[in-house]
């Protein structure tokens, strides 16, 4: 499994992904799930990938080949993010269909992507590309998208992420979201990749590779644990905790009768 998240704020984009892949429980490996395509000063795109690894690798290879061999439509010449994400969705469908045509075992070749970035003169955008090749953009109220094992890390994003969240704050929130997922689910694992893109920079952004023992990643995990403990300690006490405790009173009720 996989967990990837992208956030769009007023000041830029954040992309984060784990790196664990597995086929069954005893075939585990580490692959980057974050792929960047940058034409400095002109355009930058980021692709986060979840699902069948052969499918996602083939899609990434096709994107790079189309650029290198100057295909009629490629990420170097698309004129909008919409055209770019349509192109990625089509590639994904094509690859899945080609793999299914050779299948003999009802294999699941599906892949899901987050695709985002910016073209010069246009606004930054992020999209979620379904296995069917179609796509959605982020919600205005909750401006983030997730793929893979999305549930563990969703509550913190739901509570915190807004359009006006500062970019570095959003990035730390993404790291916490992934860190929580890794702690709670064996199939999502380090290293964590993080890319922070400032709107209109049209560069590759700041990219961090955070292994388990990376000083910043450890400091972040420790600080979050401590912050959660404090948050829990600051929750309001139940009303009986404010009062002197009475002696233990045996609850009344007719002996021999079950009470609902």
CA-based max dimension of the chain = 85
Closer by beta carbon to a copy of itself, 100 or else 219: 219
To a copy of itself, the closest distance from the beta carbon of 258 in angstroms equals 5
Closer by beta carbon to a copy of itself, 64 or else 137: 64
To a copy of itself, the closest distance from the beta carbon of 103 in angstroms equals 26
Which helix (H) or strand (E) segment holds residue 216: the answer is helix 215-233
Copy the structure tokens of residue 73: 């439509």
The torsion angles phi and psi of 30, rounded to 5 degrees, stand at: -120, 120
To a copy of itself, the closest distance from the beta carbon of 219 in angstroms equals 5
To a copy of itself, the closest distance from the beta carbon of 172 in angstroms equals 5
Closer by beta carbon to a copy of itself, 140 or else 236: 236
**Residue 197 carries which DSSP code?**
E
Cα 96 to Cα 110: distance, rounded to the nearest angstrom: 7
Closer by beta carbon to a copy of itself, 92 or else 185: 185
To a copy of itself, the closest distance from the beta carbon of 56 in angstroms equals 15
Cα 48 to Cα 39: distance, rounded to the nearest angstrom: 18
Give Cα 26 to chain centroid, integer Å.
24
Closer by beta carbon to a copy of itself, 20 or else 96: 20
Q: Is 256 left (phi over 0), alpha (psi -120 to 50) or beta?
A: left
To a copy of itself, the closest distance from the beta carbon of 104 in angstroms equals 27
To a copy of itself, the closest distance from the beta carbon of 39 in angstroms equals 6
Cα 4 to Cα 27: distance, rounded to the nearest angstrom: 21
Closer by beta carbon to a copy of itself, 109 or else 152: 152
User: Are residues 62 and 108 in contact, defined by beta-carbon separation less than 8 angstroms?
Assistant: no
SS (H, E, C) 3-16: EEEEEEECCEEEEE
Radius of gyration of the chain (CA): 23
- Cα dist. 260→137, 253, 257 in Å? 49, 11, 10
Closer by beta carbon to a copy of itself, 93 or else 198: 198
């Amino acid at each position: 499994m996989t967990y990837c998240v992208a956030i769009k704020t007023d000041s830029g984009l954040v992309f984060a992904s784990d790196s664990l892949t597995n086929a069954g429980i005893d075939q585990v490996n580490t692959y980057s799930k974050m792929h960047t395509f940058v034409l400095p000063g002109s355009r930058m795109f980021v692709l986060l990938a979840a699902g069948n690894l052969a499918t996602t690798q083939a899609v990434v290879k096709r994107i790079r080949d189309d650029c290198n061999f100057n295909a009629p439509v490629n990420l170097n010449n698309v004129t909008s993010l919409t055209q770019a994400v349509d192109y990625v969705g089509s590639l994904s469908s094509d690859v899945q269909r080609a793999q299914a045509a050779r299948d003999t075992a009802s294999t699941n070749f599906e892949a899901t992507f987050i695709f985002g970035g910016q073209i010069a003169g246009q606004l930054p955008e992020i999209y979620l590309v379904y296995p069917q090749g179609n796509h959605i953009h982020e919600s205005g109220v909750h401006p983030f998208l997730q793929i893979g094992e999305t549930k563990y890390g969703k509550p913190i994003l739901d509570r915190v992420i807004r359009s006006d969240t500062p970019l570095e704050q959003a990035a730390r929130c993404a790291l916490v979201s992934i860190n929580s997922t890794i702690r709670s689910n064996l199939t999502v694992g380090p290293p964590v990749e993080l890319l922070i893109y400032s709107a209109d920079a049209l560069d590759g952004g700041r990219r961090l590779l955070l292994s388990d023992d990376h000083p910043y990643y450890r400091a972040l995990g420790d600080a979050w644990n401590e912050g959660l403990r404090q948050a829990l300690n600051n929750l309001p006490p139940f009303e009986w905790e404010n009062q002197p405790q009475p002696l233990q009173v045996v609850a009344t009720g007719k002996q021999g009768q079950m009470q609902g």
